[in-house]
């Protein structure tokens, strides 16, 4: 058989060479036919303009407009539909890949005895987010005209259904691509909570909270802006979710951290802060780069269209601004760490990148490049000052998600009018406060309800030995844990 391979290759090459003149001739004939048709359309339009007494420039414009209209009529709607759908799908799977980034970041930032627990939480929350957003979340967030239970405040309660592919023409994108893109944003909000509450929350109460967050809390506040609710009517602007996604997850995480309390041994009686280093900085760094990559889908695809030159150029500009905002966040965090502490903390650099990304998310299109760098750099500064502040307040945030997602999200949202003249600082503040109050109050009710029923925290003994063994029954690194005694 191996001896026949060269023969097959030679036959294939011979066919290509023999057929290429015919293929070339056919392509040339087709191109010539299309050119003749368009030329005829242009000449007819030019002649009509000439007959109406218009000058040469008007005749040329009439010709080019007629040709453009003919091309758009033949290909425009179809191509716009395909390109918009492709943007949603590519952006969606990039944002879905951020779930891996959160998992790796958290796995690296927790201690060895809790790594398997964090991985379990992350894959479970992603699955729950998908089901919850399908059953109730999407239609709560995007009720459409006449679909509100409470007008402009609460959408409808119903699962998502998909039309037949051939009949899916109600919008200039497919229904499935839109649902998928919106769903992965919902999962991102839940991932933020997971990192903050790591190492001292039981699995099942956390997953119950994820159901409520993804099924109700996130979609309801999201409908106020992206579902054309009352905040949208006021002119609130949050392009890709600095507040709607990141601060929402941050508020839920902050309230959860206060109710849950700190990890045992984190804070001493006389105010000292005891470091609890993460297990794997290489994993944490990998997770950050994955998140950085996914953010191009998060922000870029939030343009929601790629069917025109202007849309494609906008997506490109969003990529540039998103990337450089993260760069600014890293550099700002690294420089400040060196100035204040004499050394560079890798975790601060990682969170500086993420804070820059969160900050630019509210408006990644309108800023000039230098403005994006400034916005991202301030995000990095926020991280450097907010992390020790939280420790002074004895709020234990294992991965630094509160400074990154909540505080940098607030900063990114409030600064939108600096680059987008269609927004106002007053309206931005109203949106930040109203969403913060709603998410905090509903999260507080849910956390207290769970604490008073099934309980939130593991026992002191379980927390000491690690949640991998106590909750999962599987050690991520058995050769270093209790399992090493049996090997």
pLDDT at position 132 over 90: yes
Task: Please name the fold of domain 82-472.
Answer: Ammonium transporter fold (1.10.3430)
Backbone angles phi, psi at 390, to 5 degrees: -60, -40
DSSP state, residue 165: G
Predicted pLDDT at 78: 79
CA distance 312 to 179: 22
Per-residue pLDDT, averaged over 159-177, amounts to 92
* CA 131 vs CA 103, 125, 176, 262, 288: distances in Å: 19, 10, 14, 31, 26
Closest among 294, 288, 295, 286 to 325, alpha carbons compared: 295
Per residue in 43-85, pLDDT tens? 655 566 566 666 666 655 655 565 555 545 444 577 899 999 9
CA distance 380 to 403: 9
Predicted pLDDT at 63: 54
| 3-class secondary structure, 273 | strand
DSSP state, residue 368: -
Domain limits, the chain: 82-472
What is the 3-state secondary structure of 283-319?
A: HHHHHHHHHHHHHHHHHHHHHCCCCCHHHHHHHHHHH
DSSP state, residue 142: -
Residue 33 · residue 40 · CB < 8 Å = no
Predicted pLDDT at 33: 43
Q: Which residue has the tokens 């969160």?
A: 358
Compute the chain's Rg from CA coordinates: 27
CA distance 252 to 440: 6
Per residue in 454-487, pLDDT tens? 999 999 999 999 999 999 998 888 877 654 444 4
Nearest 5 degrees, angle CA 126-CA 131-CA 132? Answer: 95
pLDDT at position 383 over 50: yes
Burial of 57 (0-12, 13-18, 19+ CB in 10 A): exposed
Q: Which residues contact 294 (CB under 8 A, 6 or more apart)?
A: 94, 95, 96, 97, 98, 101
The beta-carbon contacts of 71-75 under 8 Å, at least 24 apart in sequence, are 71/38
pTM: 0.84
300-335 b/e (C-beta count within 10 Å ≥ 16 → b): bbbbbbbbeeebeebbebbbebbbbbbbbbbbbbbb
Per residue in 407-428, pLDDT tens? 999 999 999 999 999 999 999 9
**DSSP result, 27-82:** HHHHHHHHHHHHHHHHHHHHHHHHHTT--HHHHHHHHHHHHHHHHIIIIIHHHHHH
Residue 98 · residue 290 · CB < 8 Å = yes
Nearest 5 degrees, angle CA 334-CA 336-CA 338? Answer: 70
Per-residue pLDDT, averaged over 137-164, amounts to 90
CA distance 284 to 196: 14
Which runs of consecutive H residues, i.e. helices, occur in 52-171? 56-71, 77-109, 115-132, 138-141
Per residue in 260-303, pLDDT tens? 999 999 999 888 999 999 999 999 999 999 999 999 999 999 99
Per residue in 203-252, pLDDT tens? 999 999 999 999 999 999 999 999 999 999 999 999 999 999 999 999 99
pLDDT at position 19 over 50: no
Per residue in 185-201, pLDDT tens? 999 999 999 999 999 99
Mean predicted lDDT score pLDDT of the chain: 88
pLDDT band per the 50, 70, 90 thresholds, residue 364? very high
| 3-class secondary structure, 362 | coil
* CA 322 vs CA 142, 327, 380, 405, 419: distances in Å: 26, 9, 14, 15, 14
């Amino acid at each position: 058989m191996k001896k026949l391979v060269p023969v097959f290759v030679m036959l294939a090459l011979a066919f290509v060479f023999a057929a290429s003149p015919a293929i070339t001739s056919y392509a040339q004939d087709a191109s010539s036919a299309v050119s003749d048709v368009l030329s005829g359309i242009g000449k007819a339009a030019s002649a009509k303009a000439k007959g109406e007494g218009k000058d040469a420039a008007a005749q040329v414009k009439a010709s080019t407009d007629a040709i453009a209209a003919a091309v758009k009529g033949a290909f425009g709607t179809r191509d716009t539909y395909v390109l918009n759908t492709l943007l949603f799908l590519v952006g969606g799977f990039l944002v879905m890949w951020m779930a891996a980034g959160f998992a790796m970041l958290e796995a690296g930032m927790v201690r060895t005895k809790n790594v398997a627990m964090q991985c379990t939480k992350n894959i479970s929350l992603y699955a729950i987010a998908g089901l919850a957003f399908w059953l109730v979340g999407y239609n709560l967030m995007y009720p459409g005209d006449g679909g509100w239970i409470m007008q402009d405040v609460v959408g409808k309660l119903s699962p998502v259904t998909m039309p037949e592919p051939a009949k899916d023409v109600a919008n200039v994108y497919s229904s499935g691509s839109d649902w998928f893109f919106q769903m992965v944003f919902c999962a991102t909000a839940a991932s933020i909570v997971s990192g903050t509450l790591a190492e001292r929350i039981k699995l099942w109460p956390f997953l119950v909270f994820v159901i409520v967050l993804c099924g109700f809390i996130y979609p309801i506040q999201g409908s106020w802006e992206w579902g054309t609710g009352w905040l949208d009517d006021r002119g609130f602007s949050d392009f890709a979710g600095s507040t709607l996604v990141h601060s929402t997850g941050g508020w839920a995480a902050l309230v959860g951290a206060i109710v849950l309390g700190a990890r045992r041994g984190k804070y001493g009686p006389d105010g000292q802060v005891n470091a609890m280093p993460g297990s794997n900085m290489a994993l944490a760094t990998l997770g950050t780069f994955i998140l950085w990559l996914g953010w191009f889908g998060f922000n870029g695809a939030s343009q929601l269209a790629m069917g025109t030159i202007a849309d494609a150029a906008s997506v490109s500009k969003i990529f540039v601004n998103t990337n450089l905002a993260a760069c600014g966040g890293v550099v700002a965090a690294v420089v400040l760490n060196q100035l204040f502490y004499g050394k560079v903390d890798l975790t601060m650099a990682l969170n500086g990148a993420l804070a820059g990304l969160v900050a630019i998310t509210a408006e990644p299109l309108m800023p000039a490049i230098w403005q994006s760098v400034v916005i991202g750099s301030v995000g990095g500064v926020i991280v450097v000052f907010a992390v020790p502040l939280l420790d002074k307040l004895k709020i234990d945030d294992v991965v630094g998600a509160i400074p990154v997602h909540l505080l940098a999200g607030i900063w990114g949202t409030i600064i939108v009018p600096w680059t987008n003249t269609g927004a106002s600082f007053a309206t931005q503040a109203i949106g930040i406060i109203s969403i913060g109050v709603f998410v905090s109050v509903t999260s507080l009710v849910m956390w207290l309800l769970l604490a008073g029923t099934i309980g939130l925290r593991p026992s002191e003994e379980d927390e000491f030995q690690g949640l991998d063994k106590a909750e999962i029954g599987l050690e991520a690194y058995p050769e270093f844990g209790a399992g090493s005694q049996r090997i």
